[in-house]
Every structure is written in C-alpha cells, then in structure tokens.
Amino acid sequence: MGVYMERLPKYLARCGVASRRKAEDLIRDGLVAVNGEIVQEPGCKIEPGHDRVTVRGREVFPEERLVYLLLHKPAGYVTTVRDPWGRSTVMDLAPEKAVRLFPAGRLDLDTTGLLLLTNDGEAVQALTHPRHGVAKVYEALVKGVPRRGTLTKLRRGILLDDGPTLPAKVEILTVKEGNAILRITVHEGRKRLIRRMCEAAGHPVLDLKRVAMGPLALGDLPAGKTRPLTPTEINGLREIISGGGERKSRQKKGS
C-alpha cells in the first residue's frame, strides 16, 4: 500500500476551517500554506500527519482523533449506538469511551463476526455504500448439504422478494454432522441477505459469522474483543475512499 494522500480542501474541512468549497476559496486567495509554502491550487494533495498546513499563518489540525476498532461481535448484541428497549449494544464492548464511535453497517442480533467501530464517517461510507461494491465474506452453517445445482444458483444469483441477488462466490468448506459450512462472498448489503439467500435455496442458516469485509479480516480475534486496525488496513480503507480500490481490485481479477 502506498502513502495516503488527501486533497487539501478536504483536509481543511476535516480541521473545521471551512466547508470544502470555502476551503477552495481560501486556497485560491493565497491564505493556505503547506510546509511554509503558499499553495493556490485546490487540487493540491497533502500527507496528513506529515505535512504542516497553516491558514493565515496558524497551523490547523483535524478536529477529532480518528479511531478504528475491529470488533468480533458476539450473538445477542444489537448493532446500534443506543437501544430504546435497553438491550445490549455493540458499543458496550468498545473500550474507547472518550471518543464517540459508531458501527459501520449492521449485523443481525444472532449474527457474529467482524464489525468496524469508528468515528470516521468516510470509512463507514466506503465500506457500506453500494457504489464501492466492497466484498463481505461470511461463513454460514446451513441445514443439509447443497447440491452442485443449488450452489450454481447461489453463485449466479437467486431470486428474493426484493429482486435477484448479484453473483456471489459460494463454496463448501466442510460438512459437519450432515450440515454444510459455506463460505459466501457477496458485494451487496441487503437486509439479512445471506439468511434469505440460503433460505430461498432450501438450506436455512443455523449459524452465521462475518469473517472479512473489504481490507479487514477477523482472524483469530476472540468473540467480544476489539483490536485497533493496522496501518495497512487503514490505508486499504482510504484507498477505497479515494478511488474505489475494492472495485478496481475485483476488476483486475476479472470477477
């Protein structure tokens, strides 16, 4: 992964200086300097945390420290910041209390696995917006063992009540006491998608875990625990934000 570069107007907006459009005006007016040099091109890019940016001679910094925590969500927790019925939420598992975090996307109450907690709204958008087509990988214990024809239907797209699914990658990992564990990769985020796909195929889900999402992987993180993202994972998120890195990667692979 390369160094993350950010457009100067976007950085100024994150610092609370002005909106991106107003920040562009400040740059054109010669009021912004990078490493002591006046910059008047709004398309200029800087390396956050490395380049020194000043506005009217005063150095500016992002208003909020960005936090990225990967959580292994256990069953029985709702994926919300607060729950009106007093149920346990994924935020109860977050060690960061000084910063307001929120989950990127949702996992059902009984679904376990990878969930990102962050205060970076653009990272949330990168992982969840349909235009990015970020891969979401699940391991699903289903009732019975799907036949080859059923697997083909799931891979090509299966008709649900809200329309056909996009092509998916589906493989049988193992068979356990007459039930199969499937590894399913999808690039859409419809509600209860994996459960509905398997139900429509005649193999209801008995247990479901998300093991990867975009550049993030659950690995051996214990249930209920969190860990900070690595610099490589953060750069992966930023590549998606800046240029649709996930979609480009899939196109290169011919998927």
The amino acid sitting at 49 is G
Pairwise CA distance, residues 5 & 24, whole Å: 17
Sign for the CA dihedral angle at 158, 188, 173, 77 comes to negative
- Strand 112-118 and strand 205-213: the pairing is parallel
- The two tokens of residue 11 are 């950085």
SS3 148: helix
Catalytic one of 92, 108, 162, 220? 108
Q: Tokens 């209801």 map to which residue?
A: 204
The amino acid sitting at 82 is R
- Using an 8 Å Cβ cutoff, are 227 and 71 in contact? no
Neighbours of 28 (CB within 10 A): 13
* Residue 235 buriedness (CB in 10 A; 0-12 / 13-18 / 19+): middle
User: Of 29, 4, 5, whose CA–CA distance to 17 is shortest?
Assistant: 29
108 flagged as catalytic: yes
The CB-side HSE value for 154 (13 A sphere, CA atoms) comes to 26
Q: Give helix then strand counts, H and E, for the chain.
A: 7, 17
**Catalytic residue set:** 108
